[in-house]
Amino acid sequence: MSAQARVLVVDDSATMRGLITAVLSADPEVNVIGQAGDALEAREAIKKLNPDVVTLDIEMPNMNGLDFLEKIMRLRPMPVIMVSTLTHRGADASLAALEIGAFDCVGKPLPGDARPFGDLAEKVKAAARSQRRQYTQPTPVVPPPAVADFRVGRKIVAIGSSTGGVEALIAVLQKFPANCPPTVITQHMPPTFTRSFAERLNRLCAPVVQEATDGARLEIGKIYLAPGGERHLQVANAHAPCCRLIERDPVNGHRPSVDVLFDSVAELAGRNAVGVILTGMGRDGAAGLLKMRHAGARTLGQNEKTSVVYGMPRVAYELGAVEQQLPLNSIGEEILKMTAARKEGTD
């Protein structure tokens, strides 16, 4: 068995610290080595205990979690998992934390939750295995390619991502011009987070980015993000492609699921599609990407070096689903090459 992941739990609520500790301690591969009630206690505990991973509450007295996270990433980079309320304010703060350098975010449980903090232990173990990440400033806005330099073809782009996906998606989509190909995305996120993320992407990117709604037509210059929660995102209607939100059990433990999206794109678009799998835990999307490739679609995967978690891309690559494996900073340009119209007509 691999070494236990050593975790420091930071939360101003003793009740919440106890719940997180109980959830993590149920996994024999996780060892909670300490607790702290605020940033000052946490700073001393980090110095003394040198944890592999920190779980950090966003809203705390003395110094809020975002300010403390920034100090950690600048002075002593380590994997940090943020714990946030499932509110619009909590979602905005969580997205800011991910851009600062947090490994991932989890929502605080609601009354009646059968599995509070669901896959927190798995995220902690993945964080402990990940390379220590260097502090970076939030992703800057970069000028997108000029519209005149890109003639869009007829392809649909489908992207799947999970842990590390916030930064990865920003990096990819900031390369898109305003007249980008219709793009559908499933990113594993808690409910309420996806709307804030879509709004954030819409401010940062040249195309229109919106949370997908049932029946929304797929249009050039628009990007559709699967809403977190109770439904999966699919594409439907070959004559007038549109988004479909379907009620269905979780697939690969996720709802929305990347596999559900990729399966529908393979069936609807075939060779007139590009599939992309980015950083993330687990295997969601790998089988669907293989189905896309077998249907004639072009397929891309993020490489190990630039992935926060080389899980989903690794499984897809090992299955033979990935046509090209690329570093993150090359994926946006490659998508545009694959979706550009040919000079003699459209592709």
Distances (CA, A) of 244 to 81, 145, 227, 266, 275: 32, 30, 11, 15, 18
**Nearest 10 degrees: CA dihedral of 336, 147, 269, 313?**
30
Among the listed residues 52, 104, 161, 188, the single catalytic one is: 188
Distances (CA, A) of 89 to 48, 86, 229: 33, 8, 17
Q: Tell me the C-alpha distance between 87 and 160, whole Å.
A: 24
Among the listed residues 104, 130, 284, 307, the single catalytic one is: 284
Nearest to 21 by CA among 275, 342, 11, 97: 11
Q: Tell me the C-alpha distance between 211 and 214, whole Å.
A: 10
Would residue 188 show up in a list of annotated catalytic residues for this protein?
A: yes
Among the listed residues 162, 257, 264, 307, the single catalytic one is: 162
Would residue 52 show up in a list of annotated catalytic residues for this protein?
A: no
Would residue 284 show up in a list of annotated catalytic residues for this protein?
A: yes
Which amino acid would we find at residue 85?
A: T
Q: Name the phi and psi angles at 228, rounded to 5.
A: -70, 150
Distances (CA, A) of 88 to 107, 191, 206, 256, 284: 12, 10, 24, 19, 26
Nearest to 157 by CA among 339, 296, 345, 340: 339
Return the active site residues. Answer: 162, 188, 284
